[in-house]
Amino acid sequence: MDTPPWEDEPEPPYYNEVAPEPPVAQEPVSEPEPRSPQPVETPEAVIEPDPEPEAVAPAEPVNPDGFVWERDYRQLEITGMPGNLASYSAMAMDGQTVVLTLDEGHARLLNARHEEKIVAALRSYFGDATQLKIKQGIPGPHTPAAFEERQRVARQKAAEAAIRQDPVVQSIVERFEGRVVEESIRPAETGRR
């Protein structure tokens, strides 16, 4: 006669015995991939400012009142697409005629309605006899858009310099081995953009 199956079972473990854990299959340990060395930032490093771009001399006034196109353009209050197009132009005066020089890309966007709005704004500032002539060409650095970009860059650089020179920021950087993320610095907002 065969032994009944209940007699072949091992005895249950006692409460003070610990059941052995099943063996864990170990994976072969692979060598870590070599990593390229990462630059280490030190708080003592001084960030040199970018070399200054060549300074652009301010434009000469276009009339005896001292109106400078690139600086005083906003006084004309040309809005919308005509204002945007005019801001990318250089201005010269030939008697009572205002000559605006636009690059080819912006000149293609200009239409008769835009010209009417620009002429109306020019006449309200310079007088009713003012005429407008628009020519294609290279406007150069004396456009209102370029002037505003130079102003924006100057404000940004001033804000970055102020943060770098601030004693509280320097103390935090030294004490906590921190660093200033210059891309996160924004100048204080002025009245217009």
Summarize the confidence of residues 31-48 as an average pLDDT. Answer: 44
**Residues 129, 130, 134, 135: what is their CA dihedral angle, to the nearest 10 degrees?**
90
Its pTM stands at 0.59
**Residue 20, pLDDT above cutoff 70:** no
The residue to which tokens 């009142």 are assigned: 65
The residue to which tokens 């000559």 are assigned: 99
Q: How confident is the model at residue 188 (pLDDT cuts 50, 70, 90)?
A: confident
What three-state secondary structure class fits 137?
Answer: coil
Class of domain 61-179: alpha beta
What three-state secondary structure class fits 46?
Answer: coil
Q: Strand pairing partners for 100?
A: 91, 134
Could you report the per-residue pLDDT of 83-116, keeping only the tens digit for each? 999 999 999 988 899 999 999 999 999 999 999 9
pLDDT at position 56, please? 55
Tokens encoding 149: 């970009």
What three-state secondary structure class fits 98?
Answer: strand
What three-state secondary structure class fits 93?
Answer: strand
Tokens encoding 117: 């709005």
**Residue 43, pLDDT above cutoff 50:** no
Could you report the per-residue pLDDT of 93-102, keeping only the tens digit for each? 888 999 999 9
Of 43, 13, 38, 125, the closest CA to residue 76 belongs to 125
CA-to-CA dists, residue 27 to 24, 80, 81, 136, angstroms: 9, 68, 67, 72
pLDDT at position 38, please? 45
